[in-house]
Amino acid sequence: MYKNWFSPSQEFQDIPRGHSDSSFGHSLQTFDHFQINPKGSKIALVGYEAKMANRVRSSLFRLESPWKSLPIVDLGNLRKQDPNFAIQAGKALVADGIIPLFIGGSEDLSRVLLESFQEYRSHINLVLVDQDLNAFRIDKGYWQNVLQGAGHLKDISLMAYQSHFLSQSETSLLEDRFLDILRLGQIRKNPEASEPVARNADIISINLNVIRYSDCPEQKIPSSNGLFGEELCRISRYAGISDKLRAFAIHGIGEMSEGFSPGADIMAQCIWYFVDGVMARRSDFPVSTGHLREYLVDHQSFDDQISFWKSDLTGRWWVQLWGDEEDPKKAKMIPCTLEDYQLASNDELSERLLRFLQRLA
């Protein structure tokens, strides 16, 4: 079936796999239509924009792989660089329980991931890592329908945005409709603030315009301010380590430099750290509370105690909140931090938990 969607071109096949047997390129499987069964893999690398994806592969394959075996298949590049074609390919992967990792392209990849996923989960949380809301400007009608309840998207979040790039109406949209919103300055002040946001995501789409120009001069929409490359690698690892996450994309590069390409290099390293996170998953997402330790907090704003839960496996935290639009008696386990628990213990609430409570009210 996969041969209908992907084209392992000669250029793709000729990419060097790295100098050592322990390189990333030697540790994964490549798709040749016949010998490889992608269904045994956790992650599938998919080139959306072939030229860019192959440059990223050149950087990725030479990196070292500390893992004995990688449950990753590189499917090559899509036969057509078209959103609707990519959606069908994404659906095939998601149906087989494989995480599609799209390389290259533009803002329309967020839509591709969302529509690939809608048939398989009733409640979807999409996280955009972007300096602004340009994706919404390009396809305004589509996203307006989504935000008004079309499809299965329930929550949408934005990380590392810069306020001076948003209009007043876009700022109001963030405040009114988005679940998690993290400004660049908030991440710079506390890099770990991005972890619970990534942990709550089903889909993460990264636009490289979120990085400062000095770290990535090949951006389609450059900015003098932004994340450092290593900060984006951290977010990518947080995405990978989340048991809940099922789709990932990284895009936003324009014309690449001849020779060394900073953009391709950063994308490759983000993918490496995403894989590192996936390989470190501990299955501590609270399907049950068997491996969780409960901490009850009395808070002056609530009649009942607040339940915080800490994983014995990873030390990560969740808070149990009650009620949603569909079932007011249903408990929701929301990823949070130790700081959230400490603030609640002192009769305070973090801005993030306040937003969740407002959404549930």
Tens-level pLDDT at each residue, the chain (361 residues): 777 888 765 666 778 877 788 899 888 888 765 455 666 789 999 999 998 999 999 999 999 999 877 889 999 999 998 888 998 999 889 889 999 999 998 877 888 888 887 777 778 889 999 999 887 777 777 777 777 665 556 688 999 999 999 999 888 888 888 889 999 999 999 999 999 999 999 999 999 999 999 999 998 888 999 999 999 999 999 999 999 999 999 999 887 777 889 999 999 999 999 999 999 998 888 777 788 999 999 988 887 889 999 999 999 999 998 755 555 445 788 999 999 999 999 999 999 998 888 777 6
Q: How many CB atoms lie within 10 A of CB 6?
A: 22
Q: How many CB atoms lie within 10 A of CB 355?
A: 16
Q: In DSSP terms, which residues pair with 30 in a beta bridge?
A: 74
Q: Verify that 271 and 317 share a domain, yes or no.
A: no
Q: List the one residue out of 73, 70, 69, 86 whose CA is nearest residue 39.
A: 73
Q: Is 96 contained in some domain?
A: yes
Determine if the pTM surpasses 0.75.
yes
- Burial (CB count within 10 angstroms: exposed 0-12, middle 13-18, buried 19+), residue 116: buried
Q: Verify that 269 and 314 share a domain, yes or no.
A: no
d(CA 257, CA 199): 34
> Which residues contact residue 32 at a Cβ distance below 8 angstroms, ignoring those fewer than 6 apart?
8
Q: How far is CA 226 from CA 89, 107, 108, 134, in A?
A: 32, 18, 21, 16
Q: Verify that 208 and 334 share a domain, yes or no.
A: no
Parent domain of 319: 292-360
Q: List the one residue out of 189, 97, 114 whose CA is nearest residue 156.
A: 114
pLDDT on residue 17: 79
Q: Is 251 contained in some domain?
A: yes
Helices (H), the chain: 10-13, 24-27, 50-61, 83-95, 108-117, 134-138, 140-147, 168-177, 184-189, 194-199, 229-241, 262-279, 338-345, 351-360
> Which residues contact residue 285 at a Cβ distance below 8 angstroms, ignoring those fewer than 6 apart?
242, 243, 244
Q: Verify that 210 and 62 share a domain, yes or no.
A: yes
Q: Verify that 248 and 329 share a domain, yes or no.
A: no
Pairing verdict, β 331-336 and 317-322: antiparallel
pLDDT on residue 4: 81
The two structure tokens encoding residue 355: 């937003």
Q: Verify that 264 and 297 share a domain, yes or no.
A: no
**Which of residues 246, 279, 312 is at a domain's end?**
279
Q: Verify that 310 and 186 share a domain, yes or no.
A: no
Q: Is 287 contained in some domain?
A: no
Q: Verify that 260 and 337 share a domain, yes or no.
A: no
Q: Is 284 contained in some domain?
A: no
- What CATH number has the domain bearing residue 137? 3.40.800.10
Q: Verify that 260 and 340 share a domain, yes or no.
A: no
The two structure tokens encoding residue 100: 């599609």
Q: Is 168 contained in some domain?
A: yes
**Which of residues 279, 311, 329 is at a domain's end?**
279
Q: Is 155 contained in some domain?
A: yes
d(CA 69, CA 26): 10
Start-to-end CA distance of the chain, whole Å, equals 46
d(CA 160, CA 89): 29
pLDDT on residue 321: 83
d(CA 228, CA 235): 11
Q: Verify that 12 and 78 share a domain, yes or no.
A: yes
Q: How many domains does the chain have?
A: 2
> Which residues contact residue 218 at a Cβ distance below 8 angstroms, ignoring those fewer than 6 apart?
253, 254, 255, 256, 257, 261, 262, 263
Q: Is 219 contained in some domain?
A: yes
Q: Verify that 106 and 137 share a domain, yes or no.
A: yes
Q: Verify that 148 and 65 share a domain, yes or no.
A: yes
Q: Is 285 contained in some domain?
A: no
**Which of residues 222, 247, 279 is at a domain's end?**
279
- Single-letter code of the amino acid located at 88: Q
- How does DSSP classify residue 219? B
